[in-house]
Amino acid sequence: MQKRKLGKSNLEVSAIGLGCMGMSFSYGPPKDKQEMISLIRTAVERGVTFFDTAEVYGPYTNEELVGEALAPFRSQVVIATKFGWKIDPKAERGLAGLDSRPEHIREVAEASLKRLKTDVIDLFYQHRVDPNVPIEDVAGAVKDLIREGKVKHFGLSEAGPKTIRRAHAIQPVTALQSEYSLWYRNPEKEVLPTLEELGIGFVPYSPLGKGFLTGKINENTTFDRSDFRNQLPRFTPQARRANQALVDLLGVIARRKNATPAQIALSWLLAQKPWIVPIPGTTKLTRLEENIGAAAIELTPDDLRHIENATSQITVQGARYPEHIEQLSGR
């Protein structure tokens, strides 16, 4: 597996990471813990060194899973986790609003360290920008944790350019994690140029469009009732039918490259910038190996031009989130 550096930070990770959220949160019922531990450890054996979790995934159970799975390999891997939510198990998906007060950040860090069975968090992201707490105070709180040796790197998620700049002025931001894929390209307008200027790495989540770009979902697919895709405008049957054109395009290129649509979608992301590291999630060994295989696929300038020309003719249908969730992004 090739390695990449996240911006100017010298934080080196595998070119493709593993998003662990779906193992215990959002995509239907939690999966069997021992099977997921085995999957995470197989990822390490295959060269993956970058693992993504958050206290809110579960809540809490995903960090415990990741901590247990990676304990034998702790010195070889980079673990990223997140703070910034008020957690109430009785609330929908455990989310009861935002909370990035400095004292809360410290509490989350201490609790995450215990669940992750480690003495340092490699990359600590603010999960969503909290409009009630100045970003300077957030960056300052993480700076203190870095000074104390409890955190190595500071990250933001779904933050806009102004917030990124203000945070970076207090404590250098190592990485921004936001949604980015062939069917959600908003970061290209303002965010990617800002990251390039400041030397900040980019970690696309949902690089496979929450599974849609794999080609394994169509308008007739039904999801478990606990699967949060049921709430997403982009996943209505009508939107899926309209968006099939994008998957068909990936399929054409995949056949030419002896690859899969998912591999082309990931390879396209890797080709955008050398400091981009996608974190596709999966709960299946075959998908893990498929995703890892994307790092070996070379898209030529002609391939990339073809994708660009073809996608410019396709308008993706449906908002990516309901409005009340979308409002938490890009601040």
Q: Answer yes or no: are the C-beta atoms of 158 and 178 closer than 8 Å.
A: yes
Q: Say if CB 108 and CB 117 are below 8 A apart.
A: no
Query: Which residues are marked as active site?
Result: 57
Query: Cβ neighbours of residue 329 under 8 Å, at least 6 residues apart?
Result: 128, 158, 178, 321
Compute the mean pLDDT over every residue in the chain, rounded to the nearest whole number: 96
Residue 93 pLDDT greater than 90, yes or no: no
Q: What percent of the chain has pLDDT over 70?
A: 100
Q: What is the CATH number of domain 3-208+269-297?
A: 3.20.20.100
- The domain spans of the chain are 3-208+269-297
What proportion of the chain, given as a percentage, has pLDDT over 90? 92
259 pLDDT exceeds 80? yes
| Distance separating alpha carbons of residues 236 and 99, to the nearest angstrom | 31
Find the helix packing angle between 61-70 and 102-115, rounded to 10°. 50
On the question of a cis peptide bond just before residue 278, with omega within 30 degrees of 0, the verdict is: no
Q: What pLDDT, in 10s, does the model give residues 33-61?
A: 999 999 999 999 999 999 999 999 999 99
Provide the pLDDT for residue 228. Answer: 92
| pLDDT reported for residue 94 | 73
pTM for the model: 0.97
Question: Exposed (0-12), middle (13-18) or buried (19+): which is 293, by Cβ within 10 Å?
Answer: middle
